[in-house]
Amino acid sequence: MLKIGITGNIGSGKTTVCRVFEHLGVPVFYSDKEAKKCYNRQDVKDKLQTFFGKEIFTETNDVDTKKLAQIVFNHPDLLQKLNKLIHPLVLEDFKQWSKKHESCAYILLESAIIYSCKLTHWFDKIIFVDAPFSLLTERVMQRDKIDYDEIKNKFDIQSFTNIKCMKPDYVILNDEKKLILPQIMSIHKDLILIDRKQQNL
């Protein structure tokens, strides 16, 4: 079984692409969704309170993720602390989840921060979902109902990924001109072939 990372900038359409892979029977681990579950753990809450104080908690003692995001967005050192706390937990969850799908040719982990947080070593191959910057900003503005300044801040925090520097194994261009299904099918067939070759070694 191959472990494949799928990434791309905010607004690139990673989730849409992942849904297509799911329709092909490929299991997808959504890292952001799983990371948010970690905030319900008491040991995580205790460490978050140590790092950020009580102000990030609601009256019901839940983590106010929006408030937490606002804090770390302006403090890279705190963002690094948060990542060091959450990433190992997500990785452990991914490992346990992966064991349930060992019969599959490959599985996907979706995350926007594979490159910015240097997580490429988790995977056998990387898929990058790409789109023109103007289209990325337009999509996020419409989706999140925010203005350009807020969007620019989102991109700054996420560390806008330059595909030419990253050199992923596969690129899916989601520019609303080139069809994504043929691109996905080509990658799907290639990964199945790679898995079969590895099994025959």
Strand partners, 173: 130
Contact indicator for 18, 176 with CB cutoff of 8 Å: no
What tokens does 146 get? 């925010």
Mean pLDDT over residues 70-94, rounded? 87
Name the residue with tokens 């079969």.
196
Contact indicator for 136, 9 with CB cutoff of 8 Å: yes
Lowest mean pLDDT among 39-43, 45-49, 144-148, 189-193: 144-148
Task: Count how many Cα atoms sit within 13 Å of the Cα of residue 122 in the half-sphere of its side chain.
Answer: 27
Percent of the chain with pLDDT over 70: 91
**Identical topology for domains 1-27+106-201 and 32-100:** yes
Mean pLDDT over residues 71-95, rounded? 88
φ, ψ for residue 12, nearest 5 deg:
-75, -20
Mean pLDDT over residues 11-22, rounded? 93
Residue 145 vs residue 99, higher pLDDT: 99
- For the beta carbon of residue 115, count every other beta carbon within 10 angstroms: 21
CATH topology of domain 32-100: Rossmann fold (3.40.50)
Mean pLDDT over residues 102-121, rounded? 91
CATH of 1-27+106-201, one of 3.40.50.300, 2.40.50.100, 1.10.3720.10, 3.30.1360.30: 3.40.50.300
pLDDT at 194 over 80: yes
As to burial, measured by CB atoms within 10 angstroms (0-12 exposed, 13-18 middle, 19+ buried), residue 132 is middle
Lowest mean pLDDT among 22-26, 63-67, 149-153: 149-153
Query: Residues 149-172: pLDDT tens digits?
Result: 666 666 655 555 666 677 899 999
**Cα distance between residue 154 and residue 174, in whole Å:** 20
DSSP alpha helices (H): ranges in the chain?
Answer: 14-23, 31-38, 42-52, 65-73, 76-99, 133-144, 148-158, 163-166, 180-199
Mean pLDDT over residues 109-127, rounded? 90
Mean pLDDT over residues 99-107, rounded? 96
| pTM, full prediction | 0.86
Domain parsing of the chain, residue ranges: 1-27+106-201, 32-100
**Cα distance between residue 68 and residue 27, in whole Å:** 30
